[in-house]
Amino acid sequence: MRRLNRYVARSVVGAVAMVLLVLVALDAISALIDEMGEVEGDYTILEVLIYVGLTLPTRIYEQIPFSALVGCLWGLGSLAGSSELVVMRAAGISIARITWTVIKPVLWFIALGLALGEYVTPLTDQIAESRRALAQGEKEALQSRRGLWSREGNEFMHFNAVLPNGVLFGVTRYGFDEQGRLQSSSFIKRATYQGGGVWLEEEGRVTDLSGSDISTSTFATRRWRTDISPSLLNVLVLPPEALSIQRLYSYATYLGQQGLDSDEYWLAFWQKLLQPLATVSLVLVAISFIFGPLREVTMGYRVFSGVVVGIVFRTSQDLLGPSSLVFGFSPLLAVAVPIGICMLIGVILLRRTL
């Protein structure tokens, strides 16, 4: 029995890995083509390759559920096409046993996804975005197409690049009075966190607009005291879906305690937390298709069916997620409903084959 489990596991793992490799490669090629239009100045083809390379962990993480679906259809379909599943059933092995044999190797891909999403992708995505911003030049806020905006009191700030180690590049600060009139503008090439709410600004230019005349001055270094910390910027600089589960929970809870809207972060939290369950539900559908309606069709038809199911599943999540933010129902419900429906379909189809 152990030998049979290893044989089925090899078939499934090989198929899932191959599908994952193809999907990630296509996604990376598409990203390369998109980024080629941004090549300018220091943002060379080499920097484009580095950027796409740094975002590969995120692409792998995003493609794991879809790869598990199509890969299981492919791997089990090949066993069904050679009548090996029929032999297993004739030998007295139950469908439930085969289902568990298929799910076990998929759990390794789920564990890989959790590890990437929690510990790797937040860091690599931030480094990738920072490198791209630096390569495209240190520009003031109104000239930059990317970066992060933040506000503290009557001051608005824009950062071209935020590095994970507490270093900022291209910092633009606009100071306003109580009547909303612009009083000062400054641009700093680099700011380094010193601890205790203090940043050291380097190579800055300050424009004073508070008086009747406009004056401009420069400085080599200057201390900047603010409540903005590197840990806060590391959360704000990335979109919610790129953050780890732990950071999403902490920041969503903080926003709720401050009376601010946190639904976008809760949506991303539930999507990442329930992704393993989503992958298992898609695998159940794949197994049920092999033992049910797709038992005697061609391999191409099985793969096509898996692609259709994956697209429908992804589209339903993409529609329900933003809808929960617009119409105000629970983000958990928006994430759980497609997973529940998918799992229910898989269980019902499997029960019909028993």
CB 150 within 8 A of CB 236: yes
Confidence (pLDDT) at 293: 63
- Under the banding of pLDDT at 50, 70 and 90, the label for residue 143 is low
Judge whether 83 and 327 are in contact, CB under 8 Å: no
Average pLDDT rounded to a whole number, residues 320-325: 89
pLDDT at 38: 82
How far is C-alpha 18 from the geometric centre of its chain's CA atoms?
Answer: 21
What's the pLDDT band for 288 if we cut at 50, 70, 90?
A: confident
Listed range (20-29, 87-96, 262-271) with the worst mean pLDDT: 87-96
pLDDT for the residue 229: 86
User: pLDDT digits over 2-13, tens only?
Assistant: 777 888 888 899
pLDDT band at 337 (very low <50, low <70, confident <90, very high): very high
- Whether 53 contacts 35, CB under 8 Å: no
Task: Describe the crossing of helices 299-327 and 263-273 by its angle, rounded to 10 degrees.
Answer: 150
Reported as a pLDDT band with limits 50, 70 and 90, residue 52 is very high
Q: What is the mean pLDDT of residues 171-179?
A: 90
Token pair recorded at residue 155: 């001051």
Residue 162, pLDDT > 80, answer: yes
Angle at 48 between CA 46 and CA 54, to 5 degrees: 105
Stated pTM of the model: 0.86
Highest average pLDDT, of 1-15, 133-147, 298-312, comes from 1-15
Domain limits, the chain:
2-135+254-353, 148-236
314 in Cβ contact with 279 (< 8 Å): no
Identify the bridge partners of residue 219 per DSSP, sorted by sequence position: 204
- 131 confidence band (pLDDT: 50, 70, 90): confident
CA distances from 303 to 25, 85, 300 (A): 18, 18, 5
- Is residue 24 pLDDT above 90, yes or no? yes
C-alpha angle 299-303-306 in degrees, rounded to nearest 5: 140
Task: State the average pLDDT over residues 165-177.
Answer: 89
Cα 102 from Cα 11, distance rounded (Å): 9
CA torsion angle for 98, 277, 289, 73 (degrees, to 10)? -80
- Please enumerate in sequence order all residues whose Cβ is within 8 A of that of 48, keeping only pairs 6 or more positions apart, or say none: 32, 35, 36, 38, 39
